[in-house]
Amino acid sequence: MSNDRTLNQIMKAHYSASKGLWLLIALSQLGVFGLGVFSASHSEPPLLVLGGIALGAPVLLFVLRLGAGAYQAKAEEIRRLEFARKTVNHEPTNATLLQIRSDASKLPSFDPEPDGEYFGSDLPFGPQRMAHCAEERAFFTRAAARTLSFACAIAVLGGVIVAVFSSWFLFKTLAADGASSTADLNLTADLFGAFFVFFGVGSFSNLWGKYSSLAKTAGQVFHSCDQLRQQVDLDFSEVYLVVAAYDVAVAETPPLPGVLYRFQKKKLNALWRKEMAKVVDQ
């Protein structure tokens, strides 16, 4: 079945597989967080079960991250090949195609289809077209990364606020009842630590930084490519330097969920079509 699919379809399948594994990573971490809260709120938690989960969870997360990274790396390789094919008409070798198809994921793609081609431009093959296609990808990436960065920031700040408010409420309640004890204080401290570590310095905080950095880089690439595209005597090396910065930023960040594009698709495509009309008129 994979032999009948285009490179773009194989790329999207790899991205979907990577995103699915990242979703499992998030759910696993949420489960570990829930167990931490459960353990902290019970005086006699099942230590054997919790100990087994504590030992197995890091191994599971490590394996899931390896798988997610491997699928993303394959997708990124195909994306770069497609970029070269659609911008400078550089076709991959038969050996490269054979290797890609032999490694192709049999999983379907769950991402929405873009309007038109993944790399589309009405400019002729050359550095200007390369800059224009990179500008387009950076435009869509920046929008999705900014939205996800904002969502992660809300999760981090919300989690920290809940941790602080819950601790304050427990302290006030215990002080009012006059029943505070070492066990009660330990419970409050454990619950605060669980919430603060998970939201304040855990995965959400890390993703906030990564997606914020990606949005910043994509914005810089967008403006740089827009300026390069308008140069008459543009050299390929100038575009390569900018595109390389974008490639590194994308490779270092977990892939953006397709659901974001579903919500932003209509607005972003309308804005980009206006930009395309300006380019054609130039």
Q: Is 237 helix (H, G, I), strand (E, B) or coil?
A: helix
What's this model's pTM, rounded to 2 decimal places?
A: 0.80
Q: Residue 78's closest CA among 145, 142, 14, 174?
A: 14
Place 1 in a pLDDT band, splitting at 50, 70 and 90.
very low
Per the model's pLDDT, the better-predicted residue between 72 and 162 turns out to be: 72
C-beta of residue 222 within 8 angstroms of C-beta of residue 135:
yes
Query: What single DSSP character describes residue 76?
Result: H
Per the model's pLDDT, the better-predicted residue between 7 and 169 turns out to be: 7
Measured at the CA of 109, the angle between CA 2 and CA 205, to 5 degrees, comes to 130
Place 106 in a pLDDT band, splitting at 50, 70 and 90.
confident
Helix spans in the chain (H): 7-41, 47-88, 94-102, 127-177, 182-195, 203-229, 236-251, 258-281
Place 27 in a pLDDT band, splitting at 50, 70 and 90.
confident
Side-chain half-sphere CA neighbours of 236 within 13 A: 5
Q: Six-digit token pair at 164?
A: 């602080």
pLDDT tens figures, 138-164: 999 999 999 999 998 888 887 777 777
